[in-house]
Amino acid sequence: MNSPSAHGGSAGGGAVDGRDLGGGLLVAGTTSDAGKSVVTAGICRWLARKGLRVAPFKAQNMSLNSFVTRDGAEIGRAQAMQAAAAGVEPSALMNPVLLKPGGDRTSQVVLLGRPVGELSARGYHLERRERLLGTVTECLTELRRTHDAVICEGAGSPTEINLRRGDLVNMGLARAASLPVLVVGDIDRGGVFASFFGTTALLAAEDQALLAGYLVNKFRGDLSLLEPGLEMLRSVTGRAFYGVLPHRRGLGIDEEDGLGLSLREGARGADTAPPYGREVLRVSVLRVPLMSNFTDVDALAAEPGVVLRFADRPEELADADLVVVPGTRGTVGALRLLRERGLDRELARRAAQGRPVLGICGGYQLLGEHIEDEVESRAGSVGGLGLLPVRVRFHRDKTLARPVGTALGARVEGYEIHHGVAEVLGGQPLFKDASGLPLDGCRVGSVRGTHWHGSLENDDYRRALLREVAAESGRSFTPAPGTDFGRLREEQLDRLGDLIEEHADTAALLRLIEDGPPKGLPFLPPGAPV
Rounded distance between C-alpha atoms, residue 204 and residue 201, angstroms? 8
321: nearest Cα among 341, 305, 345: 305
Higher pLDDT, 60 or 106: 60
Burial (0-12, 13-18, 19+ Cβ within 10 Å), 304: middle
Contact (CB, 8 A) for 211 and 239: yes
Higher pLDDT, 38 or 123: 38
Burial per residue of 407-432, b for 16 or more beta-carbon CB atoms within 10 angstroms, e otherwise: beebebebbbbbbbebebeebebbbb
Higher pLDDT, 15 or 128: 128
* Percentage above 90 pLDDT, the chain: 81
Residue 520: inside a domain: no
Same domain, 54 and 183: yes
Same domain, 114 and 232: yes
Residue in 361, 418, 419, 451 annotated catalytic: 361
pLDDT bracket for residue 275 (50, 70, 90): confident
CATH number of the domain within which 231 lies: 3.40.50.300
Q: Could you tell me if residue 105 is left (phi over 0), alpha (psi between -120 and 50 degrees) or otherwise beta?
A: left
Same domain, 445 and 306: yes
pLDDT bracket for residue 273 (50, 70, 90): confident
73: nearest Cα among 51, 53, 97: 97
> What DSSP state is assigned to residue 382?
E
Same domain, 100 and 238: yes
334: nearest Cα among 294, 303, 280: 294
Same domain, 468 and 498: no
Segment 494-499 mean pLDDT: 96
Query: How high is the pLDDT of residue 507?
Result: 97
pLDDT bracket for residue 2 (50, 70, 90): very low
Please, which residues have CB within 8 angstroms of residue 282's CB and are 6 or more apart in sequence? 307, 309, 319, 320, 321, 322
Rounded distance between C-alpha atoms, residue 164 and residue 357, angstroms? 46
Q: Which residues pair with 67 in a beta bridge?
A: 75
Q: What is the CA radius of gyration of the chain?
A: 24
pLDDT bracket for residue 252 (50, 70, 90): low
* Percentage above 70 pLDDT, the chain: 90
* Helix or strand holding residue 379 (H, E): none
Query: How high is the pLDDT of residue 128?
Result: 61
521: nearest Cα among 233, 207, 157: 207
Half-sphere exposure in the Cβ direction for 207 (13 Å, CA): 26
pLDDT for residue 98 is more than 60: yes
- Which runs of E-coded beta strand occur in 312-454? 322-325, 327-328, 357-360, 370-373, 380-383, 390-401, 404-407, 410-413, 416-424, 431-432, 438-440, 442-444, 447-450
Residue 162: inside a domain: yes
Residue 267: inside a domain: no
pLDDT bracket for residue 258 (50, 70, 90): very low
Contact (CB, 8 A) for 365 and 420: yes
Question: Is residue 370 annotated as a catalytic residue, yes or no?
Answer: no
Same domain, 430 and 505: no
Rounded distance between C-alpha atoms, residue 399 and residue 139, angstroms? 24
pLDDT single digits (tens) 194-214: 999 999 999 999 999 999 999
Rounded distance between C-alpha atoms, residue 376 and residue 325, angstroms? 18
Query: How high is the pLDDT of residue 133?
Result: 87
Residue 529: inside a domain: no
Query: How high is the pLDDT of residue 165?
Result: 84
**β pairing state of 447-450 and 442-444:** antiparallel
Same domain, 347 and 371: yes
58: nearest Cα among 37, 31, 39: 37
Same domain, 237 and 289: no
pLDDT for residue 263 is more than 60: no
Helix, strand, coil abundance in the chain, percent, nearest 5 = 35, 30, 35
Half-sphere exposure in the Cβ direction for 502 (13 Å, CA): 8
pLDDT for residue 4 is more than 60: no
Cα–chain center distance at 280 = 28
pLDDT single digits (tens) 331-387: 999 999 999 999 999 999 999 999 999 999 999 999 999 999 999 889 999 999 999
pLDDT single digits (tens) 135-162: 999 999 999 999 999 999 999 999 998 8
Contact (CB, 8 A) for 381 and 364: no
Q: How far apart are the first and last CA of the chain?
A: 42
Average pLDDT, the chain: 91
> What DSSP state is assigned to residue 124?
I
Residue 10: inside a domain: no
Amino acid at 401: A
User: Is the N-terminal amide bond of 526 cis, ω within 30° of 0?
Assistant: yes
Residue 9: inside a domain: no
Rounded distance between C-alpha atoms, residue 317 and residue 230, angstroms? 48
Same domain, 502 and 432: no
Following DSSP, what letter does each residue of 444-472 receive, concatenated?
Answer: ETTEEEES-BTGGGSHHHHHHHHHHHHHH
Higher pLDDT, 255 or 326: 326
The Cβ of residue 42 has, within 10 Å, a number of other Cβ atoms equal to 29
* Helix or strand holding residue 184 (H, E): strand 181-186
pLDDT for residue 20 is more than 80: no
Rounded distance between C-alpha atoms, residue 468 and residue 137, angstroms? 50
Rounded distance between C-alpha atoms, residue 86 and residue 75, angstroms? 16
Same domain, 320 and 223: no
Same domain, 195 and 237: yes
**β pairing state of 447-450 and 357-360:** parallel
Rounded distance between C-alpha atoms, residue 514 and residue 4, angstroms? 7
Residue 264: inside a domain: no
Residue in 147, 418, 419, 453 annotated catalytic: 453
* pTM for the structure as a whole: 0.91
The structural domain count of the chain equals 2
Range of the domain at 83: 15-252+490-515
pLDDT single digits (tens) 307-338: 999 999 999 999 999 999 999 999 999 999 99
Sign for the CA dihedral angle at 261, 262, 264, 265 comes to positive
210: nearest Cα among 176, 259, 242, 161: 176
Rounded distance between C-alpha atoms, residue 395 and residue 416, angstroms? 14
Same domain, 322 and 370: yes
* Helix or strand holding residue 120 (H, E): strand 114-120
Query: How high is the pLDDT of residue 277?
Result: 81
What are the backbone angles phi and psi of residue 466, rounded to the nearest 5°?
-65, -35
Query: How high is the pLDDT of residue 224?
Result: 94
Residue 527: inside a domain: no
pLDDT single digits (tens) 410-463: 999 999 999 999 999 999 999 999 999 999 999 999 999 999 999 999 999 999
